[in-house]
């Protein structure tokens, strides 16, 4: 008879696989970044540390959930009389109950497997509901609902911040504004080059800790313009000055960041998600709320 693995063994096997998958992913990330590109390798190292920390936290939470579920299941088994099925003495069991046919045994085994599958699905749903990604999403939904807004998903390709801004600009009538990702990146880099004193003091060499040299700053601006380098607060500051529009960034667990409040134009609203994808940080756009959320019932 094939030995059935315990939930603890199954979870340990799953954790080993996830660790192995992460190791493969980390190796791929390392291979994708040139060794002489110190800035991108520093970003990569931070990304890897976050991925490893998130996986460790996930595994700890799953182990805790499994222990809690096991305790509950044991009580359930006693109540439902499942313990009676585990009689070790087969002859005594036959004396107490009518002889079970092979067909009935197969049906019973199938029913037990189906029940175990349903339990695993329920456990997975509980873990998902308590996961940091899900909790972050719930908080953002509630925050946005107060402004009658909802998240509009933007693809995760390194251009997400610019694509989120592009999405909102294309829905406006001011056609003279730059609206493509390419143009937004180009205008951002151009503005930063033209105003180095506003941006250079905030950029430091990760190896030395010194402020960027002129050449390093030019390389940074070139990456902004020509690559899929992620955008952050420096680029947002440049964009508010290019567009003459205020920008706000809504976050789940931190106050809303407001940039360019000196401008009176129509506000651009972005959503910053720390746990949206495997690599972490991501920007989404917003749109008018379509399905009202009753926050009082949540």
Please give the full DSSP string across 19-61, using - where no structure is assigned.
Answer: HHHHHHHHHHHHHHS-TT-HHHHHHHHHHHHHHHHHHHHHHHH
Q: Identify the CATH number of the domain defined by range 148-288.
A: 3.90.70.80
User: What's residue 77's pLDDT?
Assistant: 56
Range with the poorest average pLDDT among 12-26, 66-80, 133-147, 188-202:
66-80
Q: Please give the mean pLDDT across all residues of the chain.
A: 80
Q: What is the mean pLDDT of residues 211-219?
A: 94
State both tokens at 8.
């603890």
More confidently predicted of 183 and 113: 183
Alpha helices in the chain (DSSP H): 7-32, 38-80, 90-96, 102-130, 132-145, 160-169, 181-194, 196-199, 214-226, 233-243
Q: Could you report the per-residue pLDDT of 246-273, keeping only the tens digit for each?
A: 999 999 888 999 999 999 989 999 999 8
pTM: 0.54
* Domain range annotation of the chain: 7-130, 148-288
pLDDT reported for residue 160: 93
Question: pLDDT digits over 168-210, tens only?
Answer: 998 876 556 777 999 999 999 999 999 999 999 999 988 888 9
The catalytic residue positions are 157, 160, 282
16 phi and psi angles, rounded to 5 deg: -60, -40
pLDDT band at residue 83 under the 50/70/90 scheme: very low
- Integer CA distances (angstroms), 292 to 135, 249, 251, 261, 289, in order: 19, 22, 20, 29, 7
Lowest mean pLDDT among 67-76, 151-160, 182-191, 205-214: 67-76
pLDDT at 98: 64
CA atoms within 13 A of residue 147's CA, in its CB half-sphere: 17
């Amino acid at each position: 008879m094939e030995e059935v693995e315990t939930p603890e063994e199954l979870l340990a096997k799953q954790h080993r696989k996830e660790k192995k998958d992460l190791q493969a992913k980390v190796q791929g990330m390392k291979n994708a970044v040139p060794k002489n590109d110190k800035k991108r390798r520093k970003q990569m190292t931070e990304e890897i540390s976050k991925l490893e920390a998130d996986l460790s936290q996930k595994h700890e939470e799953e182990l805790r959930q499994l222990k809690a579920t096991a305790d509950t299941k044991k009580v359930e088994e006693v109540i439902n009389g499942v313990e009676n099925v585990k009689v070790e003495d087969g002859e005594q069991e036959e004396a107490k109950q009518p002889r079970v046919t092979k067909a009935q045994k197969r049906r019973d085994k199938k029913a037990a497997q189906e029940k175990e599958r349903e339990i695993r699905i329920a456990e997975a749903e509980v873990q998902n509901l308590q996961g940091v990604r899900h909790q972050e999403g719930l908080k953002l939904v509630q925050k946005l609902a107060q402004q009658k807004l909802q998240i509009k998903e933007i693809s995760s390709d390194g251009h997400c911040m610019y694509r989120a801004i592009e999405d909102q600009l294309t829905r406006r009538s001011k056609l003279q504004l730059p609206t493509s990702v390419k143009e937004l990146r180009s205008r951002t880099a151009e503005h930063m080059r033209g105003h180095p004193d506003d941006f250079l003091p905030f950029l430091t060499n990760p190896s030395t800790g010194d402020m960027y040299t002129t050449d390093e700053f030019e390389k940074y601006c070139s990456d902004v313009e020509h690559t899929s380098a992620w955008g952050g607060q420096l680029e947002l500051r440049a964009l508010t000055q290019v567009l003459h529009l205020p920008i706000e960034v809504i976050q789940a667990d931190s106050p809303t960041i407001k940039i360019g409040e000196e401008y009176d134009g129509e506000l651009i609203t972005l959503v910053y998600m720390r746990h949206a994808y495997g690599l972490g940080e991501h920007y989404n756009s917003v749109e008018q709320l379509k399905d009202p959320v009753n926050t009082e019932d949540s």
